[in-house]
């Protein structure tokens, strides 16, 4: 594996070092800042929840988002999705 030099602010470095420290306490082994950064960047993207629908202004956009959320929730449960 090759390494690259990057510029990072002191604040971001402290945050990464803090995350690495937490990971080290949890896993009981040394964790590098590079490994901590990799874990942070590979985290799954947060899914939208029903509370996010409150931000929508347009009725059509709200209905579409609600239908999409409903269909995704049914897929997660392995249930059949009724067709309208």
Each residue's pLDDT tens digit, 15-61: 899 989 999 999 999 999 999 899 888 877 767 666 666 676 777 77
Q: For residues 63-79, b (16+ Cβ closer than 10 Å) or e, as one string?
A: eebeeebeeeeeeeeee
In the chain the first and final C-alpha atoms are separated, in Å, by 52
For residue 51, tell me if it sits in a domain. yes
Q: Which residue range is the domain that position 58 belongs to?
A: 46-84
Write phi, then psi, for 4 (nearest 5 degrees).
Answer: -130, 150
Same domain? For 55 and 33 the reply is no
∠ CA 18-20-25, rounded to 5° = 95
Domain count of the fold of the chain: 2
Query: What's the pLDDT at 31?
Result: 92
Same domain? For 57 and 35 the reply is no
For residue 4, tell me if it sits in a domain. no
Same domain? For 34 and 50 the reply is no
């Amino acid at each position: 594996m090759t390494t690259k030099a990057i510029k990072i602010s002191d604040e971001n470095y402290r945050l990464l070092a803090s995350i690495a420290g937490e990971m080290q306490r949890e896993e009981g082994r040394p964790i590098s800042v590079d490994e901590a950064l990799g874990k942070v960047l590979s985290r799954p993207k947060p899914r939208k929840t029903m509370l996010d629908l409150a931000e929508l202004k347009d009725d059509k956009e709200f209905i579409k988002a609600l239908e999409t959320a409903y269909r995704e929730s049914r897929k997660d449960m392995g249930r059949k999705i009724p067709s309208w």
